[in-house]
Each structure stands twice: as C-alpha cells, then as structure tokens.
Amino acid sequence: MKKFLIFAFLIRILFIFGPYHPDLGNHLDWGNRFWEYGPKNFYSASVWSVGWPNQPPGTIYLWAGVSKINDIVFSFFWWLNLKFPLFPSNIIPFLKVYLHPALVKLPSVLAEIGIGWIIFLLVSKYGDRKKALFSSALFLFNPAIIYNSAIWGQTDGIINFFALLSFYLALKNKHFLSLFIFCLSVYFKFSLIIFFPVLLIVFLKKEISLKKILVSGLIAVVIFIFISLPFSKGNPVLWIFNLYKDRIVGGQGNMLTANAYNLWAMIYGIDFSRTDQGIFLGLTYKWWGWIIFLIFSGSVLFQFFVKRLTSQSLLLTLSLISFSAFLFLTNMHERYLYPVFPYLAILVVLQAVPLWFYLVISCIHLLNLYNLWFYPEIPGLKEFLSYRIFLPCRLMSFILILLFLQLYSFLLRSKSGKIA
C-alpha cells in the first residue's frame, strides 16, 4: 500500500509545478499579507491583490505557514546559487515563479493521499486487500480529483480529509477526537457543516451520552477560539461568530449557480447575470433551493436514523447529503461535488452502487471543472461545452439529477445490518 500511495503522490507532483487556476492568487496573497498586516489587522485590511479574505482562520494560518516555508526554501536555493559556482542558476527564475504555487497545492495533495489511506483502512476491515486497493485507486487516480488539487490547486481535499477522518474515528468510538477533527474541517472551511447532523446520529447510535458530546464539543470550540485569539479584537467569541456570519457565510455572493452543473444550470445554463433572488411562485430561488435540499436531506437523515448503523448506510447518507447540496442549493461552485467521491469509491467495492455510476459522475465532474477555465486547451471542447446556450451543460446537469435520484433509491432499498 505504501508504494501505491507514493505512486499516487508522484503523479500529482508531476503537475504541481505547472500552471494554476487564478483562484490560487488569493491563497498566495493571503499568505504573504498575513506577515505584512499581522493577524490582528488581517481581516480588517482593505488592500488586497486579488480579493479580501472570506475563509476562516484555519485557512489563513495554513497559507501564512506556506508563505514562510516558501521564503525559507527559496532563500536556501538562492544561498546555494551564490555559494557554489556549479549550481544551475537557471533554476532560480523557475522557483521564483512556480515554487510558492506548488507549495500551496501541496497540502491538498497530501490530504488526498490521506483520504486514499483511510479508504483503504475502511475497506480492509472486510478482509479483502485487493478490494481495498481498488477502492483507494478509484479515488486517488480519478482525473477529476487530480485536476482539483495538483492542477487547479484547490483545498477541497483538505476539508474532506478531515471530514472522512472524523467519521472513521467516530466508528472507532473515539468521539472526542472525531468531533475535534470535524471542527478542524469547519475551521478551515465551512462547507462541510452539512455533515454535522450525520455525525451526531453516529454518536447517538454508538450510545455516546449527550453530556459527553456537549462537553467534547465545548472543549473543541474553546480550543479553536483560543487559537483564533491573535485575530480577534475584544470579545473573541463574538468576533469569531461575526466572522462566520458576515464574511464566511454572508459574504459568499448570491449567484444562481457559480458554474455548478446542477438544477439551476439545467434550467438556465451557466448565466452569471442571474442571482438567487429571482422569484418563482412567490419564493426566491434561494429559498426553493433550501426547501428541495431540506426535503431530500431530511428524509435521508431520517432513513439513517431509523436504520441500524452500517458502513453502507453511513456512506450513502454522506454521499446523498453532499450530492443534494450541490444539485439544489444556489451559489454552488463546480468543486462542491468533490465530497461524494471518497464515499462512492467505497460504495462501489461494497457493491452498493455500480462502477459505471461512479465513472459517469467522475466524467461529468471533470468536464464541469474544465468549464470556464478551459485548461489545458483542447480544440473544440470549449465550443462543445457552450454549444447552443450551454446545451451540453444542461444535459449533464440533468444526468446528474437522474443519478442522484438513483442513489437516493439505493438508500431506500438498503437493508439494515450489523453495526459498523
């Protein structure tokens, strides 16, 4: 398995020194300016090279650390260049351009290797090493996953690693570590908060007392408030509450779809001029998105609650909740389908979903990631994706909705089994 993970890592290393998505400019800028402004003035500063910071302190700490590592590594190579005449000096301009972006990509790359390892551990408990390797391979060598981290340079791998690790620890009855790691995911990015009700149900099914859950949660929150003290001004509890309310949740925009192939793209195509404040039958699109999402996710949570805890029911639940959020909520980015892939990769080898199901979703997701950035340039593909007012996009969105409904039917038909 170690050689397997090393190979997956090396494949990603081949790409991290190449071009990167413009979104990465924020991560580079935030990391550099952390040391310029200091944490106390960081979120209140008004001058930014790309965009103002709209992510929690965990992400900012990460990019600040990467920025400092970049300075140290570059300084070391510069010292070698000055000290040794035989040192290839032409590497210096290359490092000046590509070293920092590559280091920004590296945490997500390492996180994906960690996800592959946890997938292997989860499947290995069924006693079949070959299936465990295959399940891990479905995730690690998925071109869409590699594109997300090693080429684009996004952080979805990091928060999903923490989420998967949290559920793995919960199944191992390590409730405090599980809750702490889950809070760490939210401390880096808020998007996987949708998994929190699932984690609570797992705790209840594992017969963890409500008192232990509350105490563990309180300790975790206090730790993260303490870590955030350098950023806060005045009351740290109120500061972090307002940060999440105003910047992280409230500052994410109101597009109908942010290039996600979902319900709204199926109806209107990729149209950034449309906001989620449009009215349909007296309610905004945003409210309709939440209503549809809550109907599906609520019924999924109910099914999970009334059935006995099995690996299959847990994985189906996590897949469906993240899938429904992507398909029905407004302002969704194309990257937000990422959480379904670790869980579907396991469900394939558990024979809960067919392999073709995983492959079709992966292909559509890869095309969705490619749309708008269009890197690398592939003749004809850009024109195909935007053909007849995004007709291919609408069709792929429709296919994803059909696949979601089929996955939903898998949950309804799944039988209860031995506790995980």
Contact 222/216 with Cβ under 8 angstroms?
Answer: no
Q: Is residue 322 part of a domain?
A: yes
Q: Which residues span the domain enclosing 297?
A: 253-420
DSSP bridge partners of 258: 333
pLDDT at position 251 is: 66
Contact 48/55 with Cβ under 8 angstroms?
Answer: no
Q: Is residue 212 part of a domain?
A: no
**DSSP H or E run through 219:** helix 210-227
Classify residue 207 by burial, with Cβ atoms within 10 Å: 0-12, 13-18, 19+.
exposed
Q: How far apart are CA 23 and CA 254, in angstroms?
A: 18
pLDDT at position 418 is: 43
Spatial neighbors of 161 by CB under 8 A, at least 6 apart, are 111, 112, 114, 115, 118
Establish how many alpha carbons lie within 13 A of residue 301's alpha carbon, considering only the half-sphere containing its beta carbon: 17
Q: Is residue 260 part of a domain?
A: yes
Spatial neighbors of 365 by CB under 8 A, at least 6 apart, are 144, 334, 337, 338, 341
pLDDT at position 420 is: 44
Q: Is residue 107 part of a domain?
A: no
DSSP bridge partners of 280: 283
Q: Is residue 389 part of a domain?
A: yes
Q: Is residue 282 part of a domain?
A: yes
pLDDT at position 417 is: 41
Q: How far apart are CA 319 and CA 406, in angstroms?
A: 12
Q: How far apart are CA 288 and CA 254, in angstroms?
A: 14
Q: How far apart are CA 317 and CA 77, in angstroms?
A: 49
Residue 362 Cα distances to 133, 146, 160, angstroms: 19, 11, 17
DSSP bridge partners of 259: 333
| Total count of domains within the chain | 1
Q: How far apart are CA 286 and CA 275, in angstroms?
A: 9
Q: How far apart are CA 89 and CA 246, in angstroms?
A: 47
pLDDT at position 254 is: 87
Contact 356/138 with Cβ under 8 angstroms?
Answer: no
Which residue, chain included where needed, has tokens 């925009």?
Answer: 253
Q: How far apart are CA 368 and CA 385, in angstroms?
A: 9
Residue 79 Cα distances to 70, 84, 113, angstroms: 14, 8, 32
Quote the Cα angle for 109-115-121, to 5°: 145
Per-residue pLDDT of the chain (420 residues; tens, 9 = 90+): 888 899 999 999 999 998 888 889 999 999 999 999 999 999 989 889 888 898 999 999 999 999 999 999 999 999 998 888 888 888 999 999 999 999 999 999 999 999 999 999 999 887 788 999 999 999 999 999 999 999 999 999 999 999 999 999 999 999 999 999 999 999 999 999 999 999 999 999 998 888 889 999 999 999 999 999 999 877 888 888 888 888 888 767 789 999 999 999 999 999 888 999 999 898 999 999 999 999 999 999 999 999 888 888 899 999 999 999 999 999 999 999 999 999 999 999 988 899 999 999 999 999 999 998 999 999 999 899 988 888 999 999 999 999 999 999 988 877 654 434
pLDDT at position 311 is: 84
- 282 phi and psi, to 5 degrees? 85, -5
Structure tokens belonging to residue 363: 């292909």
Q: How far apart are CA 135 and CA 347, in angstroms?
A: 8
Other C-beta atoms within 10 Å of 85: how many?
A: 7
Q: How far is CA 136 from the centre of its chain?
A: 17
Classify residue 71 by burial, with Cβ atoms within 10 Å: 0-12, 13-18, 19+.
middle
Q: Is residue 415 part of a domain?
A: yes
Q: Is residue 28 part of a domain?
A: no
pTM of the model: 0.93
Contact 152/26 with Cβ under 8 angstroms?
Answer: no
Q: How far apart are CA 142 and CA 121, in angstroms?
A: 19
